[in-house]
Chain A
Amino acid sequence: MGYRALLEADSETVQDLVLSASRRLAEAMTLYLDGKYHTAIYIAGLSAEMYLKTSCYFVGGAIPATPTDTLFQQLRPKRYKPPFPEKFESGHNLWFWYEELLHRRKRRGHRGVPRLLRQVIAAICTNWYIGMRYRPGMAVERDAERFLSQVEWLAANHVHLRS
């Protein structure tokens, strides 16, 4: 069996994203320490995306074993008109997930998010986009160091975003 078939043998679940977010961030740190700054930023950005997505899913009532496919599909533009202007962009626009998280938390009567969240998302979005994987990369150590610290904040505060 090929590796892809092995991965796809089971549906992707919310808990897969939780564990992957943590692992990608640790791997980004390894890349950073190895001087691979552009790739470290790219991988850490994926981690940030997963922390935001899982926060939305948990606030929406998901449990660890909930398959992500349905949760994701129902947010696609053809099925969902969000009460904010941010575009879905194939699920890679972190501003979309930020606004959706605020919207869900408000609708369900959860307390507000940590004040720094908006600033952290702004910093992440200023430095990361999904298409950066097609660029050879010219990041320097300081870029990666700052970026990783923002995603680490997101990881440390995941509990405050999802509950």
Chain B
Amino acid sequence: MPVRTRLEKSGVPAEGKLRADLVSELQNPKKRGEPDIIIERPHPSTIHLYVIWKKWGNLEQMVRSRVILDAFAEVHGEKKASDVTIAMGLTPVEADRLGIK
């Protein structure tokens, strides 16, 4: 095995960058493209968030969820964020398999 003197950069963006991009999208939603944010309200006090995004890559679901919840709380406040019972980050392939469109 070769000995390297430098780390290779991961293809997955840092959590902070993902969160910042999500905050920006929540504040100024684009008409098309990703991240595709779905905010579902099955009840006035319940929020389901789905974010379909290629950038999730191989990030664990728990990390994705935390990024989404943090971004939502930053834009809408902690109180509103406590109404969120689903905060799922999905790649387009995963969303398709899960039937989220």
Binding site for B on A (CB under 8 A): 10-11, 13-15, 18-19, 22, 54, 58, 63-65, 67, 156, 158-159, 162-163
Contacts and interface: CB of A to CB of B under 8 A. Distances in A.
B66 A65 contact: yes
Interface residues of B, number: 19
Contact of B65 (A13, A22, A159): A13
Contacts of B60: 10
A77 B66 CA distance: 31
B93 to A, nearest CB: 11
Interface of B: 42-43, 45-46, 48, 60-62, 64-66, 69, 82-88
7 pairs of A and B residues whose beta carbons are closest in the complex: A65-B65, A15-B86, A10-B61, A65-B62, A64-B87, A18-B85, A159-B45
B87 A65 contact: yes
A65 B87 CA distance: 7
22 contacts: A10-B60, A10-B61, A11-B61, A14-B85, A15-B86, A15-B87, A19-B48, A19-B88, A58-B85, A63-B65, A63-B66, A64-B65, A64-B88, A65-B61, A65-B87, A67-B62, A158-B43, A158-B46, A159-B43, A162-B85, A163-B45, A163-B83
Nearest to B98: A19
Contacts of A14: 85
A65 B62 CA distance: 5
A163 B85 CA distance: 11
A132 B100 CA distance: 31
A13 B61 contact: yes
Contacts of A19: 48, 86, 88
Given A65-B87, A162-B85, A15 B65 contact: yes
